[in-house]
Amino acid sequence: MKAKYDFLIVGAGLYGAVFAYKAKKAGKSCLIIDKRSHIAGNIYTEKVEDIQVHKYGAHIFHTNNKEVWEFVNQFAEFNRYTNSPVANYQGEIYNLPFNMNTFNKMWGVTTPDEAKEKIDLQRRESYVKHPQNLEEQAINLVGSDIYEKLIRGYTEKQWGRPCTEIPAFIIRRLPVRFTYDNNYFNDPYQGIPIDGYTAMVERMIEGIEVKLETDYLENKSDWDHLANMVVYTGPVDAYFHYQFGVLEYRSLLFETEVMDTDNFQGNAVVNYTDRETPYTRIIEHKHFDFGTQPKTVVTREYSVEWKQGDEPYYPINDEKNSMQYKRYKALTDKEGNVIFGGRLGEYKYYNMDQVVEAALRKADEVLGNR
């Protein structure tokens, strides 16, 4: 019997939406299902007090891939937002990424040579030949002042343990810039969709049937009968009933508050780099859009241990989880007519541009466009 759809797309996030767009364009019929009550997955934005709020964490689109940039620009007009976070260390404000503005504030130096000299001196003073942990590694790379004020507390909150207990290999390099440039990214293309990511995804999947609040795994075989092929962007371990164990993540907790002021912190992203402040950063959403609304919405972001059932955010790239994922990956390769894609389907930290690129490539491969 002929299936009703060519593709069943599990997950209305960016991967699923890009794939669905390409399939529809190639004349294929698609059904998208998502267990959440909204489309757009983790890039979902919703308006609060007329401000686009990034519900699952701040999202800045940046890429060096022209094809990807042109692709997303078909569905949204992007503003000129440039990510320039600042660090608040016990009330002292430093620019990020580490650059001449940071070094000037830290040491009063004004030229690149002075800054290099200062960093080299600090690195030499505490140099450890074979760094055994993240603390030793970070000091080797940037010296003790930057480590103490801008790395230590933030990293300990992110990982939930002291830097002396985090392996050294986690940081191979720490970018330092000897120019007065606060732009966090080096990519040539950067911005945020003017009317939010949700509207961008909505346009991508225009004309495609979507069913929300629908969990594929609860009725898998019924859904499978509906389509010739499945694009699965949910967690790969759940698909295989956790038979090799649960893949672990680091999770986040977001505390969002509407404030009766028009400007709370003067910047979209402020990182709190001391150990004592419990959250890692505060996002003030209106500054992503140069908003002039009378109120403001802020989100405090906490890094928390993940347990099964929590929202999974960052895959853990340690040996145990990598080995476990390899075993699942071998099963995905044998699963006929199912494509596993996206951050959960491939257990991989993907930036948005990488997700778009991966979905475009996969669609071209499957639909035979190239």
Ligand X SMILES: Cc1cc2nc3c(=O)[nH]c(=O)nc-3n(C[C@H](O)[C@H](O)[C@H](O)COP(=O)(O)OP(=O)(O)OC[C@H]3O[C@@H](n4cnc5c(N)ncnc54)[C@H](O)[C@@H]3O)c2cc1C
Residues 6+ apart with CB under 8 A from 149: 87, 89, 92, 94, 106, 273
**Which stretch, 28-36, 141-149, 178-186, 276-284, contacts ligand X (CB under 6 A)?**
28-36
Q: First-to-last CA distance in the chain?
A: 30
From the CB of 86, what's the least distance to ligand X, in Å? 16
Kindly tell me which residue out of 6, 114, 215, 310 binds ligand X, with binding defined by CB under 6 A: 215
- Residues 249 and 75: their CA atoms lie apart, in Å, by 31
Among 8, 9, 10, 200, binds ligand X (CB under 6 A): 10
Give CA–CA dist 300/265, Å, rounded: 12
Q: Which stretch binds ligand X (CB under 6 A): 122-130, 151-159, 320-328, 350-358?
A: 350-358
Counting contacts by CB under 6 A, is residue 42 touching ligand X?
Answer: yes
12 vs 31 by CB, closer to ligand X:
12
Nearer to ligand X, 191 or 342 (CB): 342
Q: Which CA distances in Å does 139 have to 76, 125, 303?
A: 43, 10, 23
Select from 27-35, 96-104, 176-184, 263-271 the region that touches ligand X (CB under 6 A): 27-35
Q: Which is nearer to ligand X, 153 or 315 (CB)?
A: 315
Indicate the residue among 11 and 196 with the shorter CB distance to ligand X: 11
Q: How far is CA 208 from CA 32, 302, 323, 367, in A?
A: 7, 36, 37, 17
Q: How far is the CB of 63 from ligand X (least distance, A)?
A: 8
Footprint (CB under 6 A) of ligand X, residues 139-198: none
User: If binding is defined by CB under 6 A, does position 34 make contact with ligand X?
Assistant: yes
Using rule CB under 6 A, residue 33 touches ligand X? yes
Which is closer to ligand X, CB of 9 or CB of 171? 9
| Contact positions with ligand X (CB under 6 A) in 307-326 | 313
Q: Is 233 in the site for ligand X (CB under 6 A)?
A: yes
Residue 248 engages ligand X in binding (rule: CB under 6 A): no
Stretch that binds ligand X, among 6-14, 22-30, 171-179, 279-287 (CB under 6 A): 6-14
Please identify, using beta-carbon distances, which residue of 35 and 116 lies nearer to ligand X: 35
Rounded least distance, CB 44 to ligand X, Å: 8
Taking CB under 6 A as the rule, does residue 234 contact ligand X? yes
Q: Which stretch binds ligand X (CB under 6 A): 30-38, 119-127, 202-210, 256-264?
A: 30-38
Nearer to ligand X, 150 or 344 (CB): 344
Q: φ and ψ at 31, to 5 degrees?
A: -125, 130
Q: Is the peptide bond before 97 cis (omega within 30 degrees of 0)?
A: yes
Contact between 15 and ligand X by CB under 6 A: the answer reads: yes
Closest separation in Å from C-beta 352 to ligand X? 3
Among 97, 153, 191, 342, the residue binding ligand X under the rule CB under 6 A is 342
Which residues contact ligand X by CB under 6 A?
A: 10-16, 33-36, 41-43, 57-61, 215-217, 233-234, 252, 313, 342-344, 350-353, 355
